[in-house]
């Protein structure tokens, strides 16, 4: 079975954590929930530290501070109507369809997990599900889009045995 997620690890703490397995499980859970066969898709994921993600956040969002996760969809898939279902991509025929890139930062994730009283594995899985949904056109800027994204995340995480992160 070909991996869905191509993981690049810049911070060795992610190797010890098991980012490759976590990203693969999260990506597959999202695609399965949305009825997409992972064979036709690929995601890139960068496991980095706060310094690296702060640079990416500054370059791409104009916010020179660390954040937990960033995502860059390969194309715009958001629904036009607030709360509408995004336009899901077709699988690649000869080559997998590239959904986009995710970057996740160690220190911010670890700090948030402690602050929120969550297991690091559960928090990281939530953020990977969140990032993957962004690649597929889900967003949380508009109110109804946020409700749809949160409900979708919660449903996917429940299927993975992870409690609602918003409770």
User: Is 134 marked within a binding site?
Assistant: yes
Domain 5-159 has CATH 3.40.1280.10: no
Domain ranges for the chain, please list them. 5-159
Beta-strand runs (E) in the chain: 5-9, 41-48, 69-73, 97-105
Token pair in block for residue 137: 């056109």
State yes or no: 123 annotated in a binding site.
no
Q: How far apart are the first and last CA of the chain?
A: 36
Phi and psi torsions of 79, nearest 5°: -75, 150
Rounded distance between C-alpha atoms, residue 149 and residue 66, angstroms: 23
Q: What is the pLDDT of residue 2?
A: 84
pLDDT for the residue 88: 95
- Which residue is it, tokens 């056109």? 137
Q: Can you give the pLDDT at residue 93?
A: 85
Question: CA dihedral in degrees (87, 91, 92, 93; nearest 10)?
Answer: -130
Please state, in angstroms and rounded to a whole number, the distance separating the CA atoms of residues 83 and 86.
9
User: Each residue's pLDDT tens digit in the chain (167 positions)?
Assistant: 689 999 999 999 999 999 999 999 999 999 999 999 999 999 999 999 999 999 999 999 999 999 999 999 999 999 999 999 999 999 988 899 999 999 999 999 999 999 999 999 999 999 999 999 999 999 999 999 999 999 999 999 999 999 999 98
Both tokens of 138, joined, read 């889900």
């Amino acid at each position: 079975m070909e991996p869905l997620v191509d993981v690049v690890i810049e911070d060795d703490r992610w190797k010890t954590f098991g980012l490759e397995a976590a990203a693969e499980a999260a990506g597959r859970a999202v695609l399965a929930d949305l009825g997409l066969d992972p064979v036709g898709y690929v995601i890139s994921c960068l496991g980095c530290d706060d310094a690296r993600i702060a640079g990416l956040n500054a370059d791409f969002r104009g916010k020179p501070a660390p954040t937990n996760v960033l995502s860059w969809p390969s194309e715009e898939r958001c629904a036009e109507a607030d709360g509408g279902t995004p336009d899901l991509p077709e699988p690649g025929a000869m080559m997998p369809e590239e959904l986009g890139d995710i970057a996740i930062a160690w220190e911010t994730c670890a700090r948030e997990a402690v602050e929120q009283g969550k297991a690091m594995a559960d928090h990281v899985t939530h953020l990977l599900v969140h990032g993957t949904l962004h690649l597929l056109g889900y967003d949380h800027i508009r109110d109804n889009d946020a409700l749809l994204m949160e409900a979708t995340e919660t449903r996917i995480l429940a299927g993975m045995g992870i409690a609602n992160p918003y409770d």
